Chain A
Amino acid sequence: MHMSDALLSPSVSLSMWAISGSILAWSLKKIRREEGGEDSSHQIVLMGILGAFVFAAQMINVAIPGTGSSGHLGGGLLLTLILGPYRAFVVLFTVLLLQAFLFADGGILALGCNIFNMAFIPAFIVYPLLFRTILGQTRNAKSESAMGAFQNTKRLFWACMLSGVVTCVLGASALIAETTLSGLAELSFKTFAAFMLPIHFAIGLLEGIVTYSVCNSQFKLFQKLDINTPDSIKVQSGRKRWILSLCLVTVICGSIFSWFASKNPDGLEWSLEKSYSLVNSFDLSDNSAATLEWLPSFVSKIQAKSAIFPDYGFSNGEILSKIKPHVSEKLQLSLTGLGGSILVLCLCLLIGGVFRFRLIKTASQ
Chain B
Amino acid sequence: MTSFYSLNPKISLIGLLLYSCAVVSVTKFGLSTMVAMASLVLLLLLSLSDKPKKLMIQSIGLSSFALIMAVSNVILDRQPISLLNEGLGNKISLNWSGEIRAGWISGGVILLKAWSLLAMMLLLNSLFSFQIICDSARSLGLPQLIATQLLLIYRFGGLLREEASSLNRARQLRSFHSYSWVKSWRSSGLLLGNLLFRSILRSERVHQGMISRGFRERIPQNIVQPMSIYDWGCLSIFAIVLIALRLYL
User: A and B bound?
Assistant: yes
The answer for the CA separation of A210 and B210 in the assembled complex, in Å, is: 32
CB of A227 closer than 8 Å to a CB of B: yes
User: Digit string of B167-197 for contact with A (CB within 8 Å is 1, else 0)?
Assistant: 1100000000000010011101111110111
Closest chain-B Cβ to A303's Cβ sits at a distance in Å of 33
Interface segment among B87-95, B211-219, B220-228: the answer is B211-219
Closest chain-B Cβ to A288's Cβ sits at a distance in Å of 50
| A5-B23, A62-B188, A186-B73 given; A48·B114 CB < 8 A | no
Interface segment among A86-94, A252-260, A317-325, A331-339: the answer is A86-94
Query: What is the size, in residues, of chain B's interface with A at 8 Å between Cβ atoms?
Result: 77
CB of B36 closer than 8 Å to a CB of A: no
CB of B53 closer than 8 Å to a CB of A: no
Residue of B whose beta carbon sits closest to that of A9: B24
**B197 contacts which chain A residues (CB < 8 A)?**
218, 221
| A41-B215, A46-B203, A56-B157 given; A187·B152 CB < 8 A | no
Question: Which A residues lie at the B interface, using CB under 8 A?
Answer: 2-10, 13, 28, 31, 39-42, 44-53, 55-57, 59-65, 73, 78, 90-91, 93-95, 97-98, 100-102, 104-109, 179, 183-187, 206, 209-210, 212-214, 216-218, 221, 225, 227
B189 touches A210 (CB 8 A): yes
Residue of A whose beta carbon sits closest to that of B191: A60
Residue of A whose beta carbon sits closest to that of B122: A104
**B217 contacts which chain A residues (CB < 8 A)?**
39-41, 44
Q: Which of B110, B151, B167, B191 has the most CB of A within 10 A?
A: B191
CB of B131 closer than 8 Å to a CB of A: no
Residue of B whose beta carbon sits closest to that of A111: B20
A5 touches B113 (CB 8 A): yes
**B216 contacts which chain A residues (CB < 8 A)?**
39, 41
CB of B133 closer than 8 Å to a CB of A: yes
B192 touches A47 (CB 8 A): no
Closest chain-B Cβ to A8's Cβ sits at a distance in Å of 6
Residue of A whose beta carbon sits closest to that of B216: A41
CB of B103 closer than 8 Å to a CB of A: yes
CB of B145 closer than 8 Å to a CB of A: yes
B165 touches A52 (CB 8 A): no
B72 touches A187 (CB 8 A): yes
The answer for the CA separation of A93 and B145 in the assembled complex, in Å, is: 11
B125 touches A102 (CB 8 A): yes
The answer for the CA separation of A131 and B66 in the assembled complex, in Å, is: 33
